Every structure is written in structure tokens, then in C-alpha cells.
Structure 1
């Protein structure tokens, strides 16, 4: 009975969330079209709404831990759920994301992504995207901020393992910026591939910075170790059995 109720509430949550995304997208569109501030305001408003309604409608509480960076840094983040995107976006002062190039052509969303200064990446052309991003920063089109990238390249369901890609190191090397890894357990409560939302404490945690000076092997080894170890700890804290993690 409890599960059935949770399913009903989850469906209501998903539907109202989609409606609010559409309404806010339309409402803020004129402002976003002419100013990055409008795009940021729209996305922060939506993220705030989605996180708030998740708490009282489906029982997902959220918590951000660690020191949130304010300067120009890289954010290599564990990605399990759309929820971790919203939580990261909501707390960063100037958030930008590495995104699929195809999203630029999505109605409304493409304009918002462009105005936010997100970096579109074509498959197999990451190096060109990095150069374009650096040129945009130097020209002033995109102000320095926090650039989030997902080292595994996609959402990874809880209990599964996907190898880390070298994209974060390419940005680390080319930009000369410090990397601030992010761990999460959001996938336990907002899973990939289902409308069911599960109650509990969803956490996004900013970890100790990785300073410049590491080789590719050193950087990638350290990055994967700290993100995976801390994400596993957060999932274990929420009741996940680590013995089910497949590597």
C-alpha cells in the first residue's frame, strides 16, 4: 500500500514538474533571450521549485555538503540523476555545464543553455570544444565560472560502474584551473529510467580540491578514487549495500 501511494505521488510530482518547467521556460524566455541573467534566474527558479516540491510531495530531502567554490574552477561530478544537476546548479555562483551538442537545437532549452554559457560537445570533438570555450571566456561572451563535467559521460545508475573518460583531465590541463570533485547519492532517490521517486536524504558533496601539477594518470586515478569512494560512502550512509556494486 505504501509503495502504491509513493508511485501515485511520484507520478503527480513528475507531471507537475514538467508543467512548471514549460511554464517557467516560456515566462522567462524573453528575458533569457536578451540576458544571461534571465537564463540563470529561470533555471534557479525551476531548480528551487523542483527541489522544494520533491521534499513535501515525495519525501526527498536534499543537502549540500563541503565548501562550495566561488572562483573559476572545474567541477568533475558524479552523475546519477537529474536531481544532482539541479542541486549543483542551484548552489554554484556561475554554473556552466559540458553538454551534448544536440541539445542546442532543442526548443527553448537550447537558448537557455547557450545563454548560460554551457559548452556544447560533439562526440569525437572534445578538443575543439575546449578551444572554443577558452576563446569564449577570453572574448567575454562567457564569464569565468564553475564548469561542470561528468567524468563518466552519462548518468550512472546506483550499483553500476562506468569507466572514467579523460575529458576532465583535458580541461584541467588546458584551463590551468583547480578541479573540485563532487560526490553524490541522488540516484538512490531519483533513479534513472523510472518515474518512481523514493524518500530519503539526497546529498551532493563538494570534495577537497585537486590542484594543478598532476600528470594524466595521477589526476585520473585520484579523481576516480575520491569521487567513487565518497559516493559509495554517501550511498552506504543512506542504506545501500556496497556489495552489490559491480566493477
Structure 2
């Protein structure tokens, strides 16, 4: 019952608040494009504190998170991390499914913020776009984050990495920082109920650039699944 009440209160506070911030970003970006990034950061922390104080979800980071010209590969179990990346990094650029850019209002803001749309059916063209946008982000001092599984997966599952990771790893020539997390334990995919608990980010060992594709995939896959029960 407490979990249900907390989830209802969270929805009543977070979603209307998010709509107001999206509208504010949409209006202000017409006059000052950089404002979108500032509003997005506010939105990320708004979500973070709503999760902390309304849902009882505390965040812990295990290990040292290096900042710099890296490719950050993150486990994807919940909506939580897609927003919380705005708190973990400074103005991160995140690769997201192209369909998300079709959402009214949100899609416009995502484009102006600098998210990278991934059109899976576009093949090599999509990879070239991804490479260009990722390099531009790195040059601007912004972290580039990828969810290599392509979609949210239940906690404990470890599907293979999508082929796009290997292509981007080779094209960018950047060392990889793999990050595991267990957000699916408290905010499971497809569930309205969000439980109280600890969400852990576990920073894995840096995977250097230039490795054989297979070796890089094996290292990254193991690292982002380090919090799975079987691991």
C-alpha cells in the first residue's frame, strides 16, 4: 500500500512538473538555445529528488567515475537512468531511439538539447550520423552515453550487445567506461509501482580503445552486468 501511494504521489508531482519544464525549455530555446541544456539539467535533478524523497530511492556510485573523452556504456533496466544521466554527467549527449523524437514537445526539446537519434533501419547512414554527433559532443566537453542493449531489460537478464556498439567503438577510437546498475529492482520495466531502495551504479574497469571487436564486447558485456545475480 505504501509503495502504491508513493508511486501515485510521484506521478502527480513529477509528470505535471516535467510538462512545465518542457514548455519552459521550448519557449526559452527560441530565444536562447543553450537554455535547453540548463533546463534539462534542472529536470534531471527534479526527477532525482522526486525519486529520492517521494519514492525513497537512494543512488550510490561504486568506484571512481572518470570524466573526459570516453564513451560511457550503461546498463538499461528502467526509465530512471535515462533521466538520471543528467545528474551523473554534465550535459551528457545520449543516443536514443528515433521514435522518441516523434513525441510531441519532448522530441523537439530532445533535438535542441543535442540527443543523438538512432534510426536502426538506416544502417551505415545512422552510424555516420552517430559518429559525427558523438565527436562534436566530445569536442564540446560533453559525455557521450550509450545504452547498448537497445531497450530496457528486466534485472538479471543479460542480452547481447547490439551491433551498433562495436561499430561506434571502432569509429570513435575512444576508451570505454562501462557502468552497471540495478534500477530494475526498484523501478521495473512496465510497472507503475516504484519501490523504495538503493539504485547502484557500479563503474567497471576502463576498456581501452583499439581492442579486437570481440574482446571489447566481452569486457563491456561482463562489466555492465556485474550487478546481476548470476554475476
Deviation per CA, 1:4-55, whole angstroms, max 9, x where unpaired? Answer: 1221221121232111110111122222345453222222111211111222
Structure 1 gaps of 5+ residues are 233-241
Whether 1:73 aligns to 2:70 is: yes
| Match in the other structure for 1:231 | 227
Q: Give secondary structure in 2 for the equivalent of 1:164.
A: coil
Q: For the residues of structure 2 that align with 1:124 and 1:27, how far apart are their CA atoms?
A: 33
Contact 1:33-1:111 at 8 Å conserved across structures: no
Deviation per CA, 1:158-184, whole angstroms, max 9, x where unpaired? Answer: 133322212111111001111111110
| Match in the other structure for 1:128 | 125
Q: For the residues of structure 2 that align with 1:139 and 1:83, how far apart are their CA atoms?
A: 26
Q: For the residues of structure 2 that align with 1:218 and 1:108, how far apart are their CA atoms?
A: 41
Q: Give secondary structure in 2 for the equivalent of 1:180.
A: strand
- Of 142, 155, 175 in structure 2, the residue corresponding to residue 178 of structure 1 is 175
Name the CA shift for 1:44/1:94 in 2 (closer, same or farther; >3 Å). Answer: closer
| CA RMSD across the alignment | 2.2
**1:70 to partner: Cα distance:** 2.6
Name the CA shift for 1:55/1:139 in 2 (closer, same or farther; >3 Å). Answer: closer
Which runs of structure 2 are paired with 1:58-207 in the superposition (5 Å)?
58-136=55-133, 143=140, 145-207=142-204
Q: Give secondary structure in 2 for the equivalent of 1:196.
A: coil
Q: For the residues of structure 1 that align with 2:54 and 2:91, how far apart are their CA atoms?
A: 29
Q: For the residues of structure 2 that align with 1:35 and 1:179, how far apart are their CA atoms?
A: 33
Contact 1:119-1:129 at 8 Å conserved across structures: no
Name the CA shift for 1:132/1:34 in 2 (closer, same or farther; >3 Å). Answer: farther
Contact 1:179-1:210 at 8 Å conserved across structures: yes
Matched residue count: 230
Name the CA shift for 1:137/1:188 in 2 (closer, same or farther; >3 Å). Answer: closer
- Give TM-score, length-normalised by structure 1: 0.84
**1:144 to partner: Cα distance:** 5.0
- Give TM-score, length-normalised by structure 2: 0.89
| Match in the other structure for 2:10 | 13
Contact 1:169-1:220 at 8 Å conserved across structures: yes
Deviation per CA, 1:207-231, whole angstroms, max 9, x where unpaired? Answer: 2211112111111111111211x22
Contact 1:64-1:87 at 8 Å conserved across structures: no
Structure 2 gaps of 5+ residues are none
Contact 2:10-2:51 at 8 Å conserved across structures: yes
Q: Give secondary structure in 1 for the equivalent of 2:201.
A: strand
Deviation per CA, 1:118-159, whole angstroms, max 9, x where unpaired? Answer: 11111232432231234446779x835322111111000113
Deviation per CA, 1:102-127, whole angstroms, max 9, x where unpaired? Answer: 22222221122112221111123243
Q: For the residues of structure 1 that align with 2:42 and 2:135, how far apart are their CA atoms?
A: 29
Q: For the residues of structure 2 that align with 1:65 and 1:47, how far apart are their CA atoms?
A: 20
